């Protein structure tokens, strides 16, 4: 991707364009990037674009970063051993399995959204309390 940008920037310095100018049957001046196809006399004007000046971005020093990004907060999740929440964890696993089985068997309408939301709810509870 880096080489593509370099090629585009270098080619921008060599950009040439041709503009064709002619008068139509009504006497109006017409301009186009292609010559007229009805045989009218035209003038070709070459336009040379100036090279593009590119300034590379400089990284922001760490001292100037926003406080939210500079500070990192660590969230500690209290993990319950499986032996302490055994019945509850088994219930969560069974509920997740039931929902996934229902999803595999198919559903109609907006029932899929409800099933996915339920699966997400029980999966979150399982991973927070049982892992």
Instruction: Read off the pLDDT of residues 1-24 as tens digits, 9 standing for 90 and up.
Output: 565 555 555 555 455 678 889 898
Secondary structure of residue 96 in the 3-state scheme: helix
Q: Cα–Cα distance between 75 and 43 in angstroms, integer?
A: 71
DSSP 82: T
More confident residue, 69 or 97: 97
Q: Is the CB of residue 126 less than 8 Å from the CB of residue 93?
A: yes
pTM above threshold 0.95: no
């Amino acid at each position: 991707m880096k080489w593509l940008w370099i090629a585009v920037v270098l080619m921008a310095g060599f950009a040439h364009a041709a503009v064709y100018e002619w008068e139509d049957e009504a006497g109006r001046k017409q301009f186009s990037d292609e010559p007229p196809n009805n045989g009218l006399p035209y003038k070709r004007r070459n336009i040379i674009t100036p090279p593009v000046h590119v300034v590379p971005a400089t990284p922001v020093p760490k001292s100037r970063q926003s406080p939210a990004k500079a500070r990192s907060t660590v969230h500690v999740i209290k993990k319950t051993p499986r032996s302490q929440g055994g019945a509850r964890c088994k219930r969560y696993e069974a509920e997740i399995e039931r929902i996934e089985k229902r999803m595999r068997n198919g559903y109609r309408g907006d029932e899929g959204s409800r099933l996915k939301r339920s699966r997400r709810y029980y999966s979150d509870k399982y991973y927070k309390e049982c892992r």
